[in-house]
Amino acid sequence: MSTARDRAAGLLPRGWSTKDLLGHIGTSLAEAGVALERIRAGTYRFDEIDVDQLNVQFLAAMSGVPFEIVRIQAWSARTMLRREYFSLPPEPAGSAAWWVRKAGPDHYGEQLPRLRKWIAEINGA
């Protein structure tokens, strides 16, 4: 559950807490892992995925989950994504490469500037 301090600081414009952000990243990693698994199995269809709708569903699903469980879920999802990624042919392209970028480095890059600003606010800088 988010603390009042997390909410007041407004980690993200949506009013997310640090736990919400970690849950968002973790569920994105999990969804990417599932997508890679489906790509490997030949059952993946990009047009079946609505990332914005998934984000809404995942935020709601993770809202009542304790921080420690959210952290473990994010770590596990990262492990699953890496396992699926390394099961693909070398240098995956197309949807596989998109999912890895979307859930990994591109996603982290989107979140880091606001996270750094929030940390500075908390530290009184």
74-99 pLDDT per residue, tens: 999 999 999 998 888 777 778 888 88
Q: Does residue 27 fall inside a structural domain?
A: yes
How far apart, in whole angstroms, are the C-alpha atoms of residue 101 and residue 48?
19
Q: Give strand ranges (E) for 52-92.
A: none
- For residue 116, being part of any structural domain is answered with no
Residue 76 lies inside a defined structural domain of this protein: yes
Residue 2: exposure state from Cβ atoms within 10 A (0-12, 13-18, ≥19): middle
Question: How far apart, in whole angstroms, are the C-alpha atoms of residue 81 and residue 51?
Answer: 17
pLDDT recorded at residue 90: 78
Q: Residue 42: inside a domain, yes or no?
A: yes
Q: Which two tokens mark 76? A: 């596990």
Question: Is residue 70 in a domain?
Answer: yes
* Residue 11 falls inside a structural domain: yes
Q: Are the CB atoms for 20 and 103 separated by under 8 Å?
A: no
With respect to residue 123, please indicate whether it lies within any of the assigned structural domains: no
The pTM for the full model equals 0.78
Residue 67 lies in a domain: yes
Domain with 70, as residue range(s), is: 4-111
Instruction: Domain count for the chain, please give it.
Output: 1
